[in-house]
Structure formats: C-alpha cells, structure tokens
Chain A
C-alpha cells in the first residue's frame, strides 16, 4: 500500500500534460509555425496519450485490488496474535483485542482516502472498495469475537445486574437477647 502510493505520487508529481491546449485546435489563437502539418502531429499525440492513459488506469485498477486485499494479511496476523494471547483477561490480550478492533474501524473510516490515488473515471473502484470493506468488517468481527471470548461483551444478564444495589426493605425489625 505504502509503496503503491509512493510510485503513484511521484508519477503524478512529474507528469507533464502534453495534451494541453493543442488538443483543441478551435481554441488555438497562435498561428502554426510555417511548415508544420497539424493533423499528423495531433493524431500521433492523442494515440500516445491514450495508450499511456490505458496503461495507467490498468495499473491503477491492479493496485486498487492489491490495496483492497491488503487487510487479509492483517487479518491472518491478527488471528495468530489473538491465538497467542489466550483467553484470559490481562493487559496483553486486551491490548491485542483493542488494536484488532481499532485497526478495521480506522481503516473503514478512511476508505475514501485509501482509494483516492486510484480514482479514475475509467477505473471501477467499487469492487476493490467492497472487498476492502468486507475484509475489514471481517477483522472487526474477529475483534468482537475475541472480545466475547474474553468475556468483555455485556451480553449476559450478569453484566447488567452486577452492580444493582440490594432492594430496600419495607419492614424493620430489631431486638435480641434482653440486656
């Protein structure tokens, strides 16, 4: 993910828009230089840029899928860590569980941002996005499941009555052995 971003970023920084005003001859207000045949050059340029664009969008789509699949590796690692942490509540297992919960949530919040570099009107990002979301939801589910195995989910009656104060008594009685 990091890598892809880097490549894309640098590619963009150095891209020169060759198809600047020249693509629209009607708007041109500077006369062509003498001996310049406009038509052939125009055609050449456009084919090159189209090819380039196609390659780029292909590459973007490929990268988007890669990025979308990235949480899967995370999922496996998380699973392994959870297994390592065991089922008792202590600092280590709680830390892992909460990071397992936090990572998918933060990833889901930034779905748009993650796929922004691959935004292109020719690239269909819906598929990768859905996969990405699904995998992260899977990660979240894993976290919740872990939370449950640790007994930290309040889904039992005991979780809701544990601090109920004793009921007040209506009657009061005192006494004992006479002094």
Chain B
C-alpha cells in the first residue's frame, strides 16, 4: 500500500511540467510598461475637422510621435537611431508627416493616421550645412513640393513619392545658409546666408526649376553670430558677434539695404551679450539678454522700436496664422506658482487675443517651449490651445485656463535608479481605503473558484481578470511580506527625482532638486548619480530611508560638486551641500553609522578623499577601518589603471579631519598602441553569495574565488574601437583582464584574436560573462570566465570539516595571494546586446539567470547553466546529474523566456535587478525611453504559492475530506455494532 502511494505521488510530481513563460492572462499581473517620448523639440498640430485631433512631435531622443490631443496618449511612435537626429518635422498634404533627419540627409514621409512610412529619400550634397525644411503650399505642375536645404544643396522634393524634382548647389566654401524663404504667392525662393561671417548673401531662385534668378551680396564691417530672424517676407534681423549691434537687412526687389542699430540705443542700461530668439512673427522679434527679454518691433525702413521689456522668464511661440493675413503668437511668463499664457496678434502688440493664468506645479520648473494651435469656438471667435514643454521635460496641454493632460516625459531619460523600502504598516494607521470588505473578498474568491471549476461565464472571467489586474494588494503604500512593493527612485537628466511604485508604476512623488537648479553659484548644474544614503533596518526603523544625489556645477571634471539628500518616503530634499571640492568618484563604503547612514568616500580631481557624512561618529568608525580602505581609478583615455591607499589627513588646506591624502600603490599601464580600454565591470555591492563552494560531479568540490575587489577590464586594439567591420580580423583583438583592485594583481588575462567590441559584461560571484563580436566567424559571441581558488582546494578532510577545524571562513586578505585557476568557454550568440544584467536574490541561493537586453529592445532571460565552462560535448552521467548541459556551439534563444513577453522597451539602456524578500524572486526594472517592471523567478517560485492559487478550492477540499471522514466513521461504527449483534 505504501509503495503504491509512493508511486502515485511520484508520477504526480513528475507530470508537472516546468513553466517559465507566462500565460496570456498573466500579462499585467506582475508587470507594467510605460511609454514615453522624451523632451519635445518641435510640435505640429493636426486639427482638421474630420478625424481625430492629434499633435506630431519630434523629441531630443530622436523620436517622432503623434499624440492624441484629447488625452495625450501615443497613437504611434518611431524611434530613429541615435545618429539620426531629427532636424525638422511638418505635415504635408494633411496626411503625411514629413521628417528631415541625420543632418538633413534623410527625408521621410510617414502616413499620419497609422505611422507607416510612405517614402524615404536621401539628400546628399557637396558639403555639410545647417538643414532647413520648408513646406508651403508650393505647387509645381500639380505636384506639391517640399523645399529642403541641406548639405549645401537646395532640393525640391515631391510630396507624393519623395522624388527630387530639381536641385541647386551652393558650393561656395564659406557660405552658411541661414534662411530659405518663399514669399507666399510668389514663384521664387530666397536663399539667405552669410559668406565668411561678414558678408550677407542673397540668392533668388526660380521655384519652378531651381534656376538662379539673382545673386546679391553686401559686406558688413563686423561679424555675424549666425542667427537671423525673419521679420517680414523681405526683411531679416541679425545680430553681430559682439551681441551689441542689430542689423536690419531688407532685400526688397532683389536690392539689399541694411541698417545698423546699436542695442544700447534701444535700452538705457547695458544689457550684456544678447541673443536673438526668433518667433518669426511679422514685424516683431525678440532678443534675450542675461537679465531680460526685449521685444522689438520693426517699423518701416529698418527703424526699430522696443515694445516691451520684461525681466521674467519668458518663452515665445512661433507665429500661427489664424486667418487670412493675420498672425498670432503666444507668450508664457512665470509669476510665482502660476504661469501666464498670453496670445497676441502680430500686428497689434497692445491687444491680447487670450490671457490666461494657470496654476502650475512648482516641481515642473520653468517653461522651456510653447507651441500654440487655434480652433474656432461655437461663437466663431478664436480659441487657443498651447502645448508647453517644462524644465523637467514634461509635456502639458493647456486649454481654457486648465491643464487638459500632462505627460511625464522626463522619465524617458533616466540616469540612475535605486530602490527604497516603503513604510512599515503600523497598527492604527488606517488603510481602509484600499482594503476590501469581507463580502467583496468572499465574492472574489467565489468567482475565482468558479473559474477554477470551469463554471464561469465569459463575464465572470472578465471580472476575475479585472480583479487580478487591479488588485489593491499590489499598489498599497506599505511594506509587504514578500518585499514586492518598493519604491523605485529614478533620477532623470533634467534633475528631477521620481518615486515610482513597483506595484503599478504610478508616480508616488516627484521633485525637481532645488540644489541642482540653475543659480548664481551653480550656473550649469549636471546631475551625475544616485546612491543609497540611509537604509534603516533593525534599530533605526523610525528613521526614513534616504538617497544621495551627486551633481556637479559644470561639465568639466574639476567643477565643484553638489550633494543633495532626499527623503525616500516623501521625496523632499532635507539637506543639501555645495562642496568646496570637485567630485571625480563616489565610493560607498561597506560601513554605516548608528543611524544606518552609509559612509561615502568622495574622491576629488586632486585625488583627495573626503568622507561623508561629516560627523565625529563617522570618522570614528572610519578610523578603525582606515588602513583597509583602498580605491582605484580607471583612466580609459590613457589606458592606465591606478590603485591608491589612504595616507594621512589632507596637508594642504585648512584643518579638515574628513579629508585624506592618497598614496599611489600600484598602476597597470596598458600599451596605448595596442590596447584601449572599452569596458569595465565590477560586482554589485549588495550582491549576496550563499556559498563559497561549488559542488561538482562525484561529490567533488571547488572553491570559488569570491572577492568584491574584482575588476573586469576589456580592451581592444585602438584601430578596432570603431564600428564592427571597420578592421580586418588580423588587426583586431580583444583582451580581457581580471584584476584585484587592492593589490593590482592581474588574476587572469586572455586574448580573443580577431574579435572586436562593443563589449557588454557582467560580473557576479566568481564569474564574468561578456559579449563581443567575432570577426572571423562573423558572429556575436559570449564568453564566460569562472575563477576558482586553488589554495583552498586541499580542504578535503571530512573529519576536519565535521569538527569545524578549518580556516575556510576566516577573513582573507588580498595580500595572501590566493592561487587561482580559471575556466572559460565561448559560445555564439545571435543577438547584439544593449545591456546585460544578472538576477539578484536576497540570499543568493537561487540559481542565476542572465538578463539580456537585445537589440530588439526586449529582455531575454538566459540560464547561467548555458554559460558554464565545464560543459562538454558528451558529459558523463554524473555531470548530467549535476545539471551540465551538453555543449553546443551557440546559445539557445527560447522564445518563452523573453521576460518582456510581447512588449518592447524602446531605446533600452539598462536593466536593474533588485532582490525581493522572497528568495526565489528578483524584481527587474528595464528602462530606456520606456519603462518596464516585472517580477522574475529564475527557478520558479518554489517558496510560495502562485498568484492564481485557489484558496477556496483548498478550503473546500479540506471541508469535504473532513466531512467524508466523519461520514465513514459513523458508517463503520454502525457496521461494527451490527456485526456484534449478529
């Protein structure tokens, strides 16, 4: 009987198939995906009466997107390559989106409703120049024509098929074309530019065939800055290079006449250097100085008149023609916590078409750009809507004095991400708002049960799915038992910090960092990185966790640093420091003070180390570890890796007990003629390793060389640092190093001949996996290096181990020079990579998987077992039992193991893995232009029941079993009684 039940249970378990992929109805349970477009550079409205109203936008991230004007959702979106910068967009024929990109070399037309590409033409020319796109209703022989000036050539391109109808070269070496104008209704085109920076050139071209009709030029004593502003169809305004003289140039009837007006004539006080901002509104232009924005009207023959001078931050939109011959433009000005949107007609400065005041979130910063569009109200008057781009890169649509929608497009340019725990659920704190009542809970479970027993109607199934997706459990603002609910703290390029909830991806808080804002002391702030400053647990639980944002005032490496400490729960900046030194490196130390603030070492450009936080307690705890702290720097330009130790207190400046001098210990100088550093990789600080031993077949054991001071460096031949295919295999090689950063010892060096970068690498535990291109095989390859400590290998006496008489767990020093051996193997891999990461679990017991960001912007999980240097073609039986996969030449790509399933993370930049509290599960966050988050269990969730486990079914089974036991007990009692009476 017992054996029978064993057999039954055995078959039951062996019939369970491992499922690594998702079922269709599991999409969206654990994962979320958000799409962004980035900071809008140019926007064109499409508001015809028929069809849906939309706006076409091009962004600094090289995206062309159309957004729904009603709700701000993306209709379609195209990501052009990183080198395919969008120069201009427009809408032609009411159905095509025209884009000019790649410095004016590529002109494309996209179908407006669905985003399909209609045609593409490449425009080449004799020289590089500023690309200009002009779409007016110019018709040549019933053909709508686009005028494009790019690469020193003027092209007329047909709208229908992208064919170049005629072209005209401007080959003069020094000519810089600034404007191409086509006066409405005329059959010719003006090409305006500067030659040798001091001569104004005007070409009149026949629009029908590109024939040169007239060429005029006039010399100017000074030099031009380059920008010109068109104030009427035949007048332009330019500023000279000193920024003090305004030039009004008119070219009426082909005759050039110019007039100079010193800026100081218009303004009493000296304005300093001015720049033209060109609203291209008839008769009006604006110049901007440090202090003010000045609007100037052109009256008659080159006469200038100041119409308004404002000290507020002002942004001007392009002109919009609202009716026949009438133009309007918008001004946006800041006033306290609100912004003023003013729309003015071009001809009359003093009247306003619209004046609105809109309350604006302070955390969005200043308005950077504004685009306006008009519509006809029911009373036949003009209404205006404005699309504004804010300092934090967010995009808002304003209409009738309110914000219709807003998009947080700053999230398209995340620099760094870290995570923070949520507050602990406290007794007494009511979370009733999100808590379900008992009845609903019961109803939900009954529904689930129906689903399990296949009794559910389609409506029920939909209700179950909705319930699963909208589960309040995952979006609560408190810590959960499994550690799935966390805050993702993302720092964006605009200097804004976002707190995103891992449950549903909503923005919990967002703050523009005030200390990294443009100010008198910090003119050009740059945000650099994000670190965990304080992660309280155990004894400091009443403290809020906080993060450290490191920035710098200016692009150079010796600019002064800025530190900002932000509370993770609220996003409020509670402390900020303007440093008196630069920040070259930030090294989080593995020591904390009594309030769990992590000690950080900031290295400045002069190689002084500064300890933060600056408290006596920190310095005390640091002093005890002082002689064991080292640091290293990788100079990838010169190919030098240097290691340092800390010496004494800084000798140079005033007594600062938190500043230390460095002493150079070692340096590795790579020969610059043969090697160039392209990639480095280190272990993650927070990675947990469960064991130092690796069990191999036949009960043998190998000891991993586990060191957090391991540095992986990949170098290529300097010639081969370019694109793939630019060199022959003979002159290209890839060298990889494993370096101990305390002693500078090179633990391993390996050369891959005929291979080339780019190299993506990940280092974890005792192994490193890297990806590169093999020129000889014409394929991508992935290699693995595992490093083992041979000096521990003789610890094989069982009795010593049983008694504990061994030194395997005693602290080790890098100076003990462990004898290491390495094993490595290479495999072909189909994809090229954008990012690579490895799963991270809380104790490091769960087996690892590599997370590969493919070129198709998806995240693919690949079991580390495929990258095991002990794989062989015919593994022995014992090795098979150990889990060694027979060696194949290439790594398999299993379609089910795409963890992004059907989604794409456009412009994928990096993959971040965070351990949940549940050992089996890793939280994966991938970001680029889009954000994607999911839970991933590399060895399946062996330590918890799955989400769709039916508790109701379990309960019912138990009840039925208990009832059955009672019934059979009673029956057997009765039978026994009858037997006795017999």
Contact = CB atoms under 8 A, between A and B. Distances in A.
B634 A156 contact: no
Contact of B585 (A88, A167, A178): A178
Interface stretch (A57-65, A89-97, A112-120, A131-139): A89-97
Given A171-B628, A172-B625, A179 B633 contact: no
A95 B13 CA distance: 14
Contacts of B451: none
Given A167-B809, A172-B630, 12 more contacts: A95-B2, A96-B6, A158-B700, A158-B701, A161-B692, A162-B695, A164-B808, A167-B810, A167-B812, A168-B811, A179-B552, A179-B557
B10 A91 contact: yes
B708 A176 contact: no
A24 interface: no
Interface in B620-670: 625, 628-636, 643
A154 to B, nearest CB: 8
Contacts of B289: none
A173 B630 contact: yes
A172 B812 CA distance: 11
A159 B798 CA distance: 9
A160 B801 contact: yes
B643 A163 contact: no
A166 B706 contact: yes
Contacts of A99: 2
Contacts of B9: 91
| Max chain B Cβ within 10 angstroms of own Cβ: one of A151, A167, A170, A171 | A171
A155 interface: yes
B306 interface: no
A174 B10 contact: no
Contact of B628 (A88, A155, A157, A172): A172
Interface string B697-739: 0011101101111000000000000000000000000000000
A178 to B, nearest CB: 4
Nearest to B692: A166
B586 interface: yes
Interface in B884-925: none
B836 to A, nearest CB: 17
Interface string B239-276: 00000000000000000000000000000000000000
A92 B682 CA distance: 45
B10 A177 contact: no
29 contacts: A90-B10, A91-B10, A156-B700, A157-B795, A157-B798, A158-B693, A159-B699, A160-B798, A161-B795, A163-B690, A166-B692, A167-B808, A169-B709, A169-B812, A170-B812, A170-B813, A171-B629, A171-B742, A172-B590, A172-B629, A172-B708, A173-B630, A173-B643, A176-B680, A178-B557, A178-B585, A179-B528, A179-B529, A179-B583
Contacts of A157: 699, 701, 795-798, 801
B432 interface: no
B587 interface: yes
Interface in A24-68: none
B182 interface: no
A6 interface: no
B801 A175 contact: no
| Max chain B Cβ within 10 angstroms of own Cβ: one of A163, A169, A173 | A173
B807 to A, nearest CB: 8
A162 B682 CA distance: 25
Give the interface SS of chain B, mostly helix, strand, loop or mixed. mixed
Given A157-B701, A165-B691, A174 B636 contact: no
Interface of A: 81, 88, 90-92, 95-96, 99, 151, 155-179
Contacts of A175: 585, 587, 603, 631-634, 741
A165 B603 contact: no
B814 interface: yes
B709 A173 contact: yes
B682 to A, nearest CB: 7
B133 interface: no
Contacts of A164: 691-693, 808-809
Interface of B: 2-3, 6-7, 9-10, 13-14, 528-529, 550, 552, 557, 583-590, 601, 603, 625, 628-636, 643, 680, 682, 689-693, 695, 699-701, 703-704, 706-709, 741-742, 795-798, 801-802, 808-815, 881
B123 to A, nearest CB: 39
B691 A171 contact: no
A157 B792 CA distance: 12
Given A161-B808, A162-B691, A176 B633 contact: yes
Given A157-B801, A158-B701, A178-B584, A173 B742 contact: yes
B811 A167 contact: yes
A99 B4 CA distance: 13
B809 to A, nearest CB: 6
Given A96-B3, A169-B707, A172-B629, A177 B636 contact: yes
A151 B628 contact: no
Nearest to B633: A175
Contacts of B692: 161, 164-167
Contact of A156 (B14, B699, B881): B699
Enumerate the 10 nearest inter-chain pairs by beta-carbon distance, A residue then B residue, closest first: A174-B587, A160-B801, A156-B699, A173-B630, A158-B701, A95-B6, A166-B692, A173-B741, A161-B693, A175-B632
Contacts of A168: 809, 811-812
Given A170-B811, A172-B708, A91 B801 contact: no
A155 B359 CA distance: 75
Given A91-B10, A164-B693, A170-B811, A177 B797 contact: no
A68 B398 CA distance: 98
Contacts of B631: 173-175
B557 to A, nearest CB: 6
A66 to B, nearest CB: 25
A167 B6 CA distance: 42
A52 to B, nearest CB: 36
Contacts of A161: 691-693, 701, 703, 795, 801, 808
Nearest to A91: B10
Contacts of B742: 171, 173
Nearest to A174: B587
Given A156-B699, A171-B709, A177 B6 contact: no
B709 A172 contact: yes
A13 to B, nearest CB: 20
Contact of A177 (B550, B587, B590, B680): B680
Contact of A162 (B643, B689, B693, B813): B693
B39 to A, nearest CB: 23
Contacts of A174: 585, 587-589, 601, 631-632
Contacts of B629: 171-173
A99 B1 CA distance: 13
A179 B555 CA distance: 11
Contacts of A95: 2-3, 6
A53 to B, nearest CB: 38
Contacts of B690: 163, 165
A158 to B, nearest CB: 4
B812 A88 contact: no
Given A95-B3, A158-B700, A162-B693, A169 B798 contact: no
Given A92-B6, A160-B802, A174-B587, A169 B814 contact: yes
Given A158-B699, A175-B741, A169 B708 contact: yes
Contacts of B798: 155-157, 159-160
Nearest to A157: B796
Contacts of A88: 881
A176 B710 CA distance: 11
A177 B681 CA distance: 10
B834 to A, nearest CB: 19
B531 to A, nearest CB: 11
A91 B13 contact: yes
A176 B2 contact: no
Contacts of A92: 6-7, 10
A160 B693 CA distance: 10
